Structure 1
Amino acid sequence: MPAADDASRTLIPAAAGGGYGVNAKAKNEKLALKFVNFVMSPEGMNVFVKKQGGLPALPDTGFTADPSLAELSEFIGSDRTVPFMDQLWPNPKVQQTMLSGLQEIFSGQSTPQKLLDAMDADYRSGS
């Protein structure tokens, strides 16, 4: 976590969990749009986050968050969040290299330095 000696300056990683869209060539565009509109309505958003255990992306849905999410809500409300690291990576190869490389480290087949070097190479390769 990007922490600081001053707790009021500490940031935490947080981001939206997913997004919805409708493919331009969808076979049932009308039904797909109906689903997206429902999920993005206050009623649909509340159903979604209650089942997911998260926070609504929409303000003022009337949702009462689980008390365990109170501190996260405060960080979000005070603009003290940063994107997860993989949201800023230039391509998906970096994350795949990280995930498989961690398995290799745990199984004794690689080292942290080799993994970092491989991730750096994938990062530098761009998109």
Structure 2
Amino acid sequence: MAYGLPRRNTVQNILKGSCYKIQEPWDLAELTKTWYSNLTNINLPFLGEIAFGSPMNLLAGQTKQDCPLPSMQTMALEKEYEAKRLAKLKSKENACKEMQVSLREKSVGLRRPLQPK
């Protein structure tokens, strides 16, 4: 196995479909070195800490909640809207049930069989 990957997913098998040609182990080492140097040239602030295994130090911050509570009018309007919506849903359900019952009660005539030849 290569680099702790399962046998069927070795690095060489993974790179077969890519543009990189890996034939010898030192080619893989050279490719890894190139990738690492390209990553370090990007100059992202956290890459150095990841590379050397040091944890990132997070600063403690204070959160402020300045969101006002909704007014009584807003709450009343929202409650009224929700009641209308639920009533509309209930009426649709009742209409569906009535249609199902009426269709079940209705006797549907069967087609007459064809005359034998």
* TM class, shorter-length: under 0.3
Q: What TM-score results when the alignment is normalised by the length of structure 1?
A: 0.20
Q: What TM-score results when the alignment is normalised by the length of structure 2?
A: 0.21
Greater Cα radius of gyration, structure 1 or 2: 2
Higher relative contact order (CA 8 A, sep 6+): 1
